[in-house]
Amino acid sequence: MEIIPAIDIRGGKAVRLFQGDYARETVYADDPVDMARHWASLGAPRLHVVDLDGAREGRAVNTPIIAAICNALAIPVEVGGGLRTLEAVQAVLNAGADRAILGTAALKDPDLVRQACERFGERIVVGVDARGGHVAVQGWLQISTTRAVDLMRQMQAAGVQRFIYTDIGRDGTLEGPNIQGLQDLLHAITAPIIASGGVSSLEDVRRLSTTGVEGVIIGQALYTGALNLPEALAALR
């Protein structure tokens, strides 16, 4: 299981939001590139980068910063936030991203996801963000009536080979991941799932490693020091 540090970019800075609330933001670094180098230097196998401005506006906003992060690192970077066209996906991959994450598009424009999978294959990941089991879109500003498991089944049928699942109710809370919810999803679909949201301790990491998830994205716990990245990586070895 990969441990993947998260870098969320808003206003050119590395920030964290509480449960996706743009009004409840903590700035952790003025320079996201320095933060990316920091996590890479501590042994991160991959980085998860989200353009929060892009997610809210529906178009890529922080691509120059994302390109700088990709160019500065030897490890792969997956990028999401505001990717709502094939051109936007192509641009972020051209900027150096290893994977492009489609979120809102999966619900609002499934044909785009299908085309992206046909063109870019495994480099396309669908991020499913859910509150109470229902899919949230537009930077988590809207909750749909679609169940996360139903969307993931549809997307897998459309060619998606990997998912990131975020439990919004746990994100940024340090309350621990929703293990049962993840296990239900793992039984429902066959594609690999990367978990996100709520990890607060080494014990949470160990519990996730027994579920069968491919990786875990961690933000708040790493930034607050509740979790030490080298220790977590060592625990999984």
Are 72 and 98 in contact by the 8 Å Cβ rule? The answer is no
Closest CA to 78 of 104, 44, 42, 107: 44
Confidence of residue 14 (pLDDT cuts 50, 70, 90): confident
d(CA 130, CA 140): 8
Task: Give the C-alpha separation, 148 to 128, whole Å.
Answer: 7
Instruction: Indicate if the pLDDT at residue 7 is higher than 90.
Output: yes
Amino acid at 36: A
pLDDT at site 138: 64
Q: Quick one: pLDDT band at residue 178, thresholds 50, 70, 90?
A: confident
3-state secondary structure the chain: CEEEEEEEEECCEEEEEECCEEEEEEEEECCHHHHHHHHHHCCCCCEEEEEHHHHHHCCCCCHHHHHHHHHHCCCCEEEECCCCCHHHHHHHHHCCCCEEEECHHHHHCHHHHHHHHHHHHHHEEEEEEEECCEEEECCCCEEEEEEHHHHHHHHHHCCCCCEEEEECCCCCCCCCCCHHHHHHHHHHCCCCEEEECCCCCHHHHHHHHCCCCCEEEECHHHHHCCCCHHHHHHHHC
Q: What is the mean pLDDT of residues 88-92?
A: 96
How many structural domains does the chain have?
A: 1
15-60 confidence digits (pLDDT tens): 877 666 667 767 887 899 999 999 999 999 999 999 999 988 889 8
Q: Residue with structure tokens 């990941």?
A: 125
Q: Which domain holds residue 193?
A: 2-236
Quote the pLDDT of residue 176: 79
195-231: per-residue pLDDT in tens?
998 899 999 999 999 999 999 999 989 999 999 999 9
pLDDT in tens, 184-194: 999 999 999 99
The sign of the dihedral angle between the CA atoms of 110, 98, 215, 173 is: negative
Residue type, 131: R
Give the CATH number of the domain where residue 149 resides: 3.20.20.70
pLDDT confidence of residue 16: 73
Please give the pLDDT value at position 174. Answer: 64
Q: Which residues are catalytic?
A: 8, 129
- Measured CA to CA, the distance from residue 59 to residue 91 in angstroms comes to 11
Predicted pLDDT at 172: 58
